[in-house]
Structure 1
């Protein structure tokens, strides 16, 4: 196919590249481990308050300066919430929260909101910062009329496509996973010390070329994985995602060696939103992803799936005898209804961004417009989603905010 091997940090992003991962001694090294772990026990100017939830930012309505954050012990919150839902508590949430359990955390300089692309807009909305009409509709007083709070939600949407391979192909079986688990625990090495998908092919789809897409809009990865459906339930939390075959005689043997292709649309046109369900902080926000609302998104995923089929037919993979496991109702001879597959089985890759966009809701130095003393540092600040996974850019955003505060 003539696909070049590239460094995706270089000038060209189209091609195959080995992944860079946050892995230390065989385990994922998250930001808490890397940043907080080494300093959390001896830094006198750091207090980590666990088991609490931020209820709202407290803003002085005369000066429009954020004076602090109101928080509540989560265990008490959940107990009170059970009573509220049972009808034992009739008052609004401000009426029954215990003054003893509720805490006001004052701020001397600035509050940095870093709750993620769902909870950060949720907190701002609860604090009266957002579209005035939407806030007043649920009984929240509007302090800052900011129409774009919670809007423009973007995410990476993926198709997971299972495939069986010829027995003895040395992919991964259940027994191999058990051996890999022992190797990981003893030496921090082996197949389980990898990210499972060790490289990806980034490219501009044919649908993307028609609209002059400037960046890769498809990421094609392959996970070496057994055909055991429980593997996907346990690791990806995709309950019944691959339960295509209701007839027991058609079920795939869990010991069958296999792979799983992951086709990810990197720059979807569909946009979602995060809005308030109510003024109560324990009522989850309404998340409308609007996945596949735009026909272009279906076209791109179809192109990605067709490219995957081409890859499977390459001479270097022919000996594996790759057989795609497609639901019977979406498969007719050699024709696969990829649009139908996308509508039924497309899943979020959990990379939400852009709900508090820099330039609209935030200033270039990530301050919330209309109020003083509040910044945001997470994926919600992105003007648009990145082609690559969002973990590294979000860490960079946090680092940049540290520079702003210094």
Structure 2
């Protein structure tokens, strides 16, 4: 229960950007900040063990949402995990630290009209957030809140995968976030001293004792209160259906993610007027772009049976689970210290793409994620994701009831190019798994299986097994056109005192995992809210296309 019913700033959502925003704003002792989170605290040990990710896509600390039937995937309904806990996605993800490609951010600035968001502009904010274990150069720094390290003791099969990819023709790259994104290698991960470095532990925990910061958990915001075109507070659900209102003297900052933020705007009467009237919400401001432009990475995968106990599947046995727990507690190493997806890279399915368009994640087992088949014997999984989908989807309300799940429609593969490029990426991944370097470790491909070769059969397999990569963005995109929801300074167009600061503001999906870019948005957004001059643009760091 907050000590006051009025604050200078109210931040809605304690995901990666929300934690950053609350921490940075509360550095100013002259303001008061309230951070409101619908989920609970990150107290369970699994949140802090790197391998705890294996439990997360199966429902822990999740809203439990699903997509609507996907008409281009044969009517599939996909589980759509969205975090409901302090730290948001950074508390339940696979802890892969990738930023995307320089050209992603340059496109934000040039194609989407978002001045101040080019790669040279955002790189200093990536560096400000980072505490890198290994790299200190034009692209990296240490001393920031987020711990970034390299995997602890990669398994021999992971090293063999690196050799196999090089046999296939993909060069080795020690740093996907450095001068060049292209290549294969071990990922940097958001792990410090064998423990997950989430936005909750890195940003929020050090700030929790500040007298001007209040963190309210298990508290769902049902509506942003708008009066005469200005956001003046939030309405929070209470016991027995009652609500209470908390006022914001300066700004309300919405950081509920690419699904939660457009959902709450629409519940508050801010969005496409026709849709709001249809579901019975009073229109406060007709803003047609709210909930449009949804983009997400779709994963296809191959699963191979191993020749022996080369991955972590064997640790499902009780005796091995106990031993792994002892290893971790005593030495900070072993299977529990693994993020389970530590190795991968970026390459081209479309040879004329402006930068890598396929991302690989090597999974050290089978059945790691929800809905993915588990082999009887030890297995290894290779996920492949097409990075720049052309398809666009929506987030809409099912009704005016704040407790109702939203209608999430990523509209996967609406554009045939997405399907063709994704299938090309899957074929490429399967070829890597067949290279000589992996023969001592890989017995045979079990999924899709050696008989699944034709376009028709591969498409059927993909339709039946594909899954989200948990990277939704774009539903409150920034820009200067009529469909933009926020301006490049993250202010909601047409409403005073209201900003959005999370992955929903991305005009285009970045070519990588989205946690690090969302933290960057929180860092830059905090400077915008505080009226601070932006960090000086980087002048000596580019990501050139290799010759």
Equivalent position to 2:323, from 179, 184, 204: 179
| Preserved CA contact (<8 Å) 1:25 1:189 | no
Q: TM-score, normalised by structure 2?
A: 0.62
Please give the residue correspondences for 1:321-360 in structure 2 after superposition, counting only pairs within 5 Å: 321-326=442-447, 332=451, 337-359=457-479, 360=484
In structure 2, do the counterparts of structure 1 residues 384 and 137 end up closer, same or farther at CA, with 3 Å as the change threshold? same
Q: Does 1:319 align with 2:440?
A: yes
Measured after TM superposition, the shift of residue 171 of structure 1 is 6.3
SS at match of 1:364: coil
In structure 2, do the counterparts of structure 1 residues 367 and 168 end up closer, same or farther at CA, with 3 Å as the change threshold? closer
Q: Does 1:189 align with 2:359?
A: no
Equivalent position to 1:284, from 405, 424, 439: 405
Q: Greater CA deviation, 2-11 or 141-150?
A: 2-11
Q: Which residue of 2 aligns with 1:33?
A: 201
Please give the alpha-carbon distance, in whole angstroms, between the structure 1 residues aligned to 2:191 and 2:281: 43
Q: Which residue of 2 aligns with 1:220?
A: 360
Measured after TM superposition, the shift of residue 194 of structure 1 is 2.1
Q: Which residue of 1 aligns with 2:9?
A: none
Please give the residue correspondences for 1:121-200 in structure 2 after superposition, counting only pairs within 5 Å: 121-167=262-308, 169=310, 172-174=313-315, 178-200=322-344
Q: Which consecutive residues of structure 2, in runs of 5 or more, have no partner in the other structure?
A: 1-167, 531-547
Q: Which residue of 2 aligns with 1:400?
A: 524
SS at match of 1:158: strand
Per-residue deviation, residues 89-147 of structure 1 (Å, max 9, x unmatched): xxxxxxxx43xxx2111111111101111010011011111111111111212222111
Please give the alpha-carbon distance, in whole angstroms, between the structure 1 residues aligned to 2:171 and 2:448: 33
Equivalent position to 1:69, from 234, 238, 249: 234
Measured after TM superposition, the shift of residue 36 of structure 1 is 1.1
Measured after TM superposition, the shift of residue 237 of structure 1 is 2.5
In structure 2, do the counterparts of structure 1 residues 147 and 180 end up closer, same or farther at CA, with 3 Å as the change threshold? same
| Preserved CA contact (<8 Å) 1:160 1:346 | yes
- The total of aligned residue pairs comes to 354
SS at match of 2:499: strand
Please give the alpha-carbon distance, in whole angstroms, between the structure 2 residues aligned to 1:307 and 1:164: 18
In structure 2, do the counterparts of structure 1 residues 297 and 273 end up closer, same or farther at CA, with 3 Å as the change threshold? same
SS at match of 2:302: strand
In structure 2, do the counterparts of structure 1 residues 343 and 185 end up closer, same or farther at CA, with 3 Å as the change threshold? same
Please give the residue correspondences for 1:44-59 in structure 2 after superposition, counting only pairs within 5 Å: 44-59=211-226
SS at match of 1:107: strand
| Preserved CA contact (<8 Å) 1:301 1:342 | no
In structure 2, do the counterparts of structure 1 residues 150 and 140 end up closer, same or farther at CA, with 3 Å as the change threshold? same
SS at match of 1:141: coil
Q: Does 1:43 align with 2:210?
A: yes
Equivalent position to 2:348, from 204, 216, 229: 204
Measured after TM superposition, the shift of residue 402 of structure 1 is 1.1
| Preserved CA contact (<8 Å) 1:169 1:257 | yes
Name the larger-Rg structure: 1
| Preserved CA contact (<8 Å) 1:199 1:221 | yes
| Preserved CA contact (<8 Å) 2:340 2:364 | yes
Per-residue deviation, residues 178-209 of structure 1 (Å, max 9, x unmatched): 5333211222212321221222120121xx33
Equivalent position to 1:118, from 259, 271, 274: 259
Equivalent position to 1:385, from 482, 489, 509: 509
Measured after TM superposition, the shift of residue 56 of structure 1 is 0.9
Q: Which residue of 1 aligns with 2:178?
A: 10
Per-residue deviation, residues 155-175 of structure 1 (Å, max 9, x unmatched): 111023221011255765235
| Preserved CA contact (<8 Å) 2:302 2:448 | no
SS at match of 1:16: strand
Q: Which residue of 2 aligns with 1:237?
A: 370
| Preserved CA contact (<8 Å) 1:305 1:338 | no
In structure 2, do the counterparts of structure 1 residues 172 and 283 end up closer, same or farther at CA, with 3 Å as the change threshold? closer
| Preserved CA contact (<8 Å) 2:170 2:347 | no
Q: Does 1:264 align with 2:403?
A: no
Q: Greater CA deviation, 353-362 or 132-141?
A: 132-141
Please give the alpha-carbon distance, in whole angstroms, between the structure 2 residues aligned to 1:333 and 1:56: 49
| Preserved CA contact (<8 Å) 1:57 1:123 | yes
